[in-house]
Structure 1
Amino acid sequence: MESPGNKRPAPRGTASYPRKRAVAACQTCRSRKTKCDNRRPICSFCESSGANCIYSPTDLSSFDPASLSILHRLDELELQLKAHVDTAVASAISTPIHSGPVPSPSPVSPSDTLNWGAYHGSRSVAATSPAGPSVSVSTAPRHPRDLHTTVEDILAWPAFMGRFKAHSNLMDLLQNQGPRFGSSRDGNNSSSISAWSCDLEPSTCKRLLDSFLRHVLIKNPIFDEAKLQSAVSRVCLEGVAWDADSCLVLLICALGSIASSTMSDLTAAQCYFAAAQRRMGVLIGVEDLVTAQCYFLAGVYQMCVMRPASAWTLFSHALACLQHYSFVRESYNVPQEPVHATPAMQDPSLAECIYWTCWKSEIELRLHLQLPDFPRTSHRYPLRFPVPPNENVFEADATWFYYLADISLRRLEMNVREVVSTMLAGGKSTMFEELAGAVITLEQQIQEWVDSMPHVLSLDTLEEEDDILKFILRGRLIDCYDILYLPFLEAALEGIPSYSPEQLTNVDKYARKALEHCVRRISEPRPGFQIRHHGTWLMLRTCVRSALMVLAARRMQRGDLLPQRWRDVVTMTMKVLETWKDESADIADRLDIITTLWEEVSRID
C-alpha cells in the first residue's frame, strides 16, 4: 500500500482545487469575489445595490480544475488592471486642472461610449487607490488613440523635420495602389480568374481544409470542426451552389491555399476568393452565424493579401450580424428587455467566440487606420471572456490556450493605453514622474500575465524555438511595452529643458527600455516574418515602428540611449519589408523611407 505521504497525483481531470466562489454566481458577485445566493432572476446583493444582475449562460462546473484555474487567474489579472484604471479615472474626474464646471459621469449610453464614467457602469469612481500613483488630469481625457504609437505618428516626430508629411495619410496609400501591387501583378488578371471552374475536387478540398484547420482555425476557434468538415464534404459532393455554405467552403479553400508556408498557391487562392465574392450577395440582409463566419474569413483573406482597409469593412459586417445576441449588450452592462431565442440565435457560445474574434480584429485595425468617422467608438473590450465549448478543448491542442491568452493580452494592452493616455492628457509639470510610478505597476501586471501562461505557450523558452503562436504572442507582448515606453522616448528626443533632474532620469531610463524592446522585436531573422497570415501586415507595421524609433534616436544624436544592436533593427526591417514590398503600397513606401534614412545615418557614422 502507498503511504499517505507518497500518494500518486490525481489525473488532471480529477485533481481537486478549492472553490473560492459559487460556480453559478452572477457576474457582479464573481467580480467582487463575494458569495452569491444564486437567486434568479436577480440575486440579493444586486437587488439591494441596484446592480445589473447577469448570470453566465454556460455552467463552468463541467470544466476540468486545471482549466478553471487558468481562467480564474486571467480574471484576477483583469480585475487588477480595472482597479488601476478606476483609480486613474477617479482622479481625472475629481481633480480637474482647468477652471469651470465638472460634468458628472453619465449612465451608459450606446451613442456616447467615450464617456469614462459609463465604462464603469453604476460603480462609484471614488474607490480606494491600489498600488501606484494617483492621477490629476482634465475631465476630458484624450482618446487612447491620441497616444502617438502608429507609424504615421512617429514620422511626424521633430527628429524627421516634417520631411514625410506627404506620406502621413495611410488610407490614401492603401486606396490608391497601382497595378504593381498585390493580385494585379504577375499576370493574375480578372479574365484568368473568372475563367476558373468552380468544381471542387474532393482530394483537393480535403488538403485545403487540413491546411485551414492547422494554420487558420488554430488561431480563431470559431467553428464546430465536425460540422465544418460535413459542410465541406457536402459542397464537394453536390457541387458549388449560390448559397452561404458554398461561399464559406470557397473561403476556406482560399485561405487553405495560402496558409501553409511550404505549399502556398496565391493564384489558386485568388480564384477561390473571387468565386466566394460572387456569392457574398446572398449574405446581404442575413444575420446568422454562417454569414458572420463568411464575412470574418473574407476579412482574414484580405489581411493575408495586405488589404487592411477592405478587411476592416468585412470584420465590421461580421460584427453587425451578431448584434441581436443578448451577450453583446450584457458584455457592456447595457440594460435590456428579455429576448426570446430565435433560429438565428442558435449556439450562443459559438456566437460569442465569433463575436470576440471579429471584435479584436476590427479594433486592432481601427487603431492603425485611424478612420475619421469613428473617433468616438469605444476601444474597451467586452467584460466577459468567451466560454470554451467543453473541457476537452484544452486537451486536444493549444488552440484555446492561445485564444484566451491572446484575448487577455489584448485587454491588458488596451487598459495600459487607457492608463497612459489619461496621465498624458493632463500636461502637468510632474507628468512623467507620475507616469514612471504607474509604469512600475503596469510592468508588474504584464509580467504576471507572462507568468500565468500554461506550459504549452510559455514565453520563457528560446525565441528561435517559437512556433507561430508563440511568435505572435511575443510580438504582442512587445506592443504592450511599446505603449508604456514610447511617451518617454518621444520626450527624450524633444529635449525639453524644463524637466527636473528626476524627470530627466525617468525619461531617459524608460526611453532606453523602449529602444531595447526594438531589438527584442526584430534583430535576428525569424521564420514568422516570412509567413503569410492574418497578422502579417500588422507585424510589418510594428517592425517599421521599431526601425523609425532607433533611427529617430540616432538622428537626434542620442547614442547614449541606443542599445548595442540597434543597427540590426534597421537592416532586418529592410530585409523583411523587401520580402513583402510588392504586396502593398504602404509597405513599399515605408521601405523607401527607412532606406533613405539608413543611408543618411550610415554616411554620418
Structure 2
Amino acid sequence: MGPRRADAVADNPPPAKRPRAIAARNAYPRRRAITACQLCRMRKTKCDNRRPSCGTCTSLEFQCVYQDTATDFSSFDPASLAILDRVNYAIQLIEQHPSPTGSSSDSLRTYPPGPSEPVLEETPDEAISKSTENSFLLEAQQLQANCASSRLLQWPSLRDLCEPCEVDKLFFNPAPPEESTEAAAPSSSRGIREEDVPSLIQSFLENVHTKNPILDPNELRNMSRYIGEDGFQWNGPSCLILIACALGTISRPFSIDTPGPQDTSRLDARDYTTSESYYTAARKRIGLLDSSIIAIQCAFLIGVFEMYSMRPLRAWLSFNRACTYFQTYLHSSSLGQPVEQSSETVRSRLYWSCLKSDCEMREEIALPPTELTKVEYSDAFPSPPGNAPDPDGGNQTESSMALDASSERSWYYYLSEIASRRIANRVTAALHPLDPEEWVKTPVHHLQRIAEELDAQVVQWAENFPPIVRLSADDTADELSYYLHSRYLDLRERIWRPFLYLGAHSKPQDPNLLIYVRNAGLCLDMIFKHIHICFIRHRHHGSWFAGRSLFTKGLLVLVAARSPNIAMPANWMMAMDTCITGLRYWEDEAPDLRAARLTLQRIYQSVNSIVPAFGSAPSDRIIDQV
C-alpha cells in the first residue's frame, strides 16, 4: 500500500498554488512606512518618530505634528502609492498654483515626472502645503541670510578675493552713537516744540505710515491735540507722538533723484539733529511702558526710525523688543489677565509688521529668530480698517474717512508686501541651501521645475496688483508702486540665481551648460533692472536694505563677468559704476556699506584693472583701513 500511494502522489502532484502567492507578494511587496512629522519633512531630515514630540521638534521647541492617520497609506502597495502621488501632485498644481492670467501657460507650467524621468525625492504627500501658516512660520525660522552677500563671498570665484566677514562684522560694531550724532548734517536743531507736532504728525502719516499702517490716524491726531494742551508726559501716548514726530521730521516726499559721485546722505539729511531730539525723548519713555498695544507700536516705530537713520543693529533690537512685547501681550490675554482692549485688526497688523521686519533683517544678516516665529496668531491677512467715528464725536468728513483713497492705496501695498514676504521665505526655503554645492547635486530638471513654479507665483503676484498700485511705463514717481516693482525684480533674481552659479562655475563640457547659461541670462536681466531701481537718494525704511542689495547685485555681476561661460552685456560696467556710487552715498552713516563699497571696488579692479576706481582716494583701495 505504501509504495503504491507514493507512486500515485508522484504521478499526480498537487497544484503549485503556494509559489504563485509568494510571487505575487514579491511583485508588490507591502511595506510599513514610518511617517515623519511635518517639521522633519519640511527640513528634509530623518525623524526619530518619537511620540508625542520627536527629537528635532523637542530641540527646536516647536509643536510636533504628525500626518493625520486618515491619510496613512503605509499598507498600500507600490503601484497604488505611485498612482496616489501622481493624483495628489495634479490636484496640488490645480488648487494652489493656477496659471497666471495673461501669461504664457506653456512657459510656466510644470508637470509631474514622466515614465522616463526619475521620480523626485520629495513626493507631494511628503510636503507641507505652501499655503498654510504653519509652513510660513517654519520657513521664517529657517532664514539664516542664505541669499545675502556674505554667502556670495564664499562662492568659488570670489572666496579668494576677500574675507566674507569683513563686511558683516561692521554690522555688529558700528560707529558709536555720539559720533553719528555729531557728524550729522550741519543744520541747527529746532529742538522739541509742541507747536510743531500737528505738522510733523501729518508728515509722518503721509510719508511713513503708508508703508506700515499699524496706527489709527484719527487716534494719533487726537493724541497730538492733548499734547498741544497738556504738553509731553511720561506715558505711552507721549512716547508714540514723539517717535512719530521724529519720523515726520526725517522723512521726505518720495523722489527718484539719483545721487552724484560727490553727494552724501548726511548732507541731504535736513533737520537730522531735530529728529534725533524727538527720537531720544521717545527712547527715554519706552522703558517705562508695560506690555501693551501702544508699547508694541512705540517699539516698532523706534525700529523704523533707526532704519531711516541707517542703524540696522539698533533697529533689529527694537523690532525684537516689539515682537517680545507682542508675545507677552498674547500670553497675558490667554491667561485671562486684564489687558488693553484693541481691535483684532490692530493686533493683526502689528503681528504681521513685527514678523515681516524680523524676517527682513534675518534675511540679510544671520541673526537668531524671535519667538514670535513660533506663535500661530493669525493665518489670514490683516483686514483694512472700517469706517470709524470721528474722535471729536462729530460726523466724518471726506478727509477723515477711515479708508480714503490714500489709505486704500496704502492697504493694497501693505497686503502685497505681506504676500511677497511669504513668497520670499518660500524661495529661500526651496532654492537656497547654506551650501551652494547642493545646486550641483540637484538634477537640473528638478531645479528647473522648482524655479519655474516659483517664478509663476511671483508673476501671478505682480499681475494681481490692483490698478491703483500697479507700476506703468509712464509713471515712476509713485512710491508704493516703485517699491513693489523693486520687490518683484528682486524675487525673480533670487529664483534664477542658482543657474547663475551653475553657469559661472561649470566646465565647458557640462551637458547642461546651455540650460544654465540661458537661465543665468534671465537672472542678469533682473539684476540690471533692480540696480537701477535701488539707485536713488530718497531716504526710507529700506534704504539700508537697498545699499546691501546694490552690493549683492554687484557681486553677482562680477561672478558672471569673471566666468568665460557667460556673455556680458556691453553696459555691465555702467551697472558696476552705479552700485559703487550708490554705496558711497550712504557709507558715511553705515560703516558696513563703506566696507561693501571697498570690497566691490577691489574685486571689480581684479576683473578689469584698467577701469579707474571711480575717483576714489588711494586709501579707499585698502579695505583694512575701514
Q: Is the TM value for this pair above 0.5? A: yes
SS for the counterpart of 1:246 is helix
Q: Which amino acid aligns with 1:442?
A: L
Q: In 2 relative to 1, CA 135–498 (structure 1 residues): closer, same or farther, beyond 3 Å?
A: farther
- Note if contact 1:89-1:422 (Cα within 8 Å) is conserved in structure 2: no
Within the candidate set 522, 527, 530, 1:518 is matched to 527
- The whole-number CA distance in structure 2 between the counterparts of 1:400 and 1:298 is 22
- Match for residue 194 of structure 2? 201
Q: In 2 relative to 1, CA 559–338 (structure 1 residues): closer, same or farther, beyond 3 Å?
A: closer
- The whole-number CA distance in structure 2 between the counterparts of 1:295 and 1:146 is 24
Aligned length: 494
- Match for residue 284 of structure 2? 278
SS for the counterpart of 2:326 is coil
Q: After superposition, where does 1:294-443 map in structure 2 within 5 Å? A: 294-324=298-328, 340=336, 342-371=338-367, 383-390=379-386, 395-397=404-406, 398-421=409-432, 429-443=441-455
Structure 2 residue 481 is matched with structure 1 residue 475: no
- Note if contact 1:516-1:563 (Cα within 8 Å) is conserved in structure 2: no
Deviation per residue, 1:486-526 (Å, 9 max, x gap): 22212222225795x2x323222222211111111024785
- Match for residue 4 of structure 1? none
- Match for residue 45 of structure 1? none
- Note if contact 1:380-1:414 (Cα within 8 Å) is conserved in structure 2: no
Q: How far off is 1:375 after superposition?
A: 12
Q: After superposition, where does 1:11-22 map in structure 2 within 5 Å? A: none
Q: In 2 relative to 1, CA 486–495 (structure 1 residues): closer, same or farther, beyond 3 Å?
A: same
Q: Which amino acid aligns with 2:383?
A: V
Which structure is larger by alpha-carbon Rg, 1 or 2? 2
- Note if contact 2:358-2:369 (Cα within 8 Å) is conserved in structure 1: no
- The whole-number CA distance in structure 2 between the counterparts of 1:582 and 1:110 is 44
Q: Which amino acid aligns with 2:380?
A: R
Q: How far off is 1:477 after superposition?
A: 1.5
Q: Which amino acid aligns with 1:522?
A: I
- The whole-number CA distance in structure 1 between the counterparts of 2:597 and 2:404 is 43
- The whole-number CA distance in structure 2 between the counterparts of 1:228 and 1:111 is 44
Q: Which amino acid aligns with 2:405?
A: A
Tell me the C-alpha RMSD between the 2 structures. 4.1
- The whole-number CA distance in structure 2 between the counterparts of 1:483 and 1:125 is 36
Within the candidate set 497, 518, 522, 1:509 is matched to 518
Q: How far off is 1:370 after superposition?
A: 0.4
- Which segment drifts farther, 590-599 or 425-434? 425-434
- The whole-number CA distance in structure 2 between the counterparts of 1:558 and 1:172 is 34
Q: How far off is 1:343 after superposition?
A: 3.4
- Match for residue 533 of structure 1? 540
Q: How far off is 1:339 after superposition?
A: 5.9
Q: How far off is 1:197 after superposition?
A: 5.6
Q: How far off is 1:266 after superposition?
A: 0.8
Q: After superposition, where does 1:100-139 map in structure 2 within 5 Å? A: 103=49, 118=65, 128-129=88-89, 130-131=92-93, 132=110, 135-136=120-121
Q: In 2 relative to 1, CA 111–384 (structure 1 residues): closer, same or farther, beyond 3 Å?
A: farther
- Match for residue 596 of structure 1? 602
- Match for residue 544 of structure 1? 551
Deviation per residue, 1:204-240 (Å, 9 max, x gap): 1121111100011111111111110011121122111
Identity over aligned residues, as a percent? 24
Structure 2 residue 234 is matched with structure 1 residue 223: no
- Which segment drifts farther, 370-379 or 175-184? 370-379
Q: In 2 relative to 1, CA 380–416 (structure 1 residues): closer, same or farther, beyond 3 Å?
A: farther
Q: How far off is 1:582 after superposition?
A: 0.3
- The whole-number CA distance in structure 2 between the counterparts of 1:507 and 1:378 is 38
User: Any stretches of 5+ residues in structure 1 without a counterpart?
Assistant: 1-87, 330-336
- Note if contact 1:181-1:582 (Cα within 8 Å) is conserved in structure 2: no
Q: Which amino acid aligns with 1:201?
A: E
Q: How far off is 1:598 after superposition?
A: 2.7
Q: Which amino acid aligns with 2:463?
A: D
- Note if contact 2:240-2:297 (Cα within 8 Å) is conserved in structure 1: yes
- The whole-number CA distance in structure 1 between the counterparts of 2:175 and 2:589 is 10
SS for the counterpart of 1:159 is coil
- Note if contact 2:197-2:224 (Cα within 8 Å) is conserved in structure 1: yes
- Note if contact 2:316-2:358 (Cα within 8 Å) is conserved in structure 1: yes
Deviation per residue, 1:455-507 (Å, 9 max, x gap): 01113x127624221121112112211321122212222225795x2x32322
Structure 2 residue 233 is matched with structure 1 residue 241: yes
User: Any stretches of 5+ residues in structure 2 without a counterpart?
Assistant: 1-35, 74-84, 94-109, 113-118, 128-137, 256-268, 388-400, 612-626
Q: How far off is 1:433 after superposition?
A: 2.0
- The whole-number CA distance in structure 2 between the counterparts of 1:401 and 1:279 is 33
Q: Which amino acid aligns with 1:299?
A: G
- The whole-number CA distance in structure 1 between the counterparts of 2:163 and 2:275 is 36
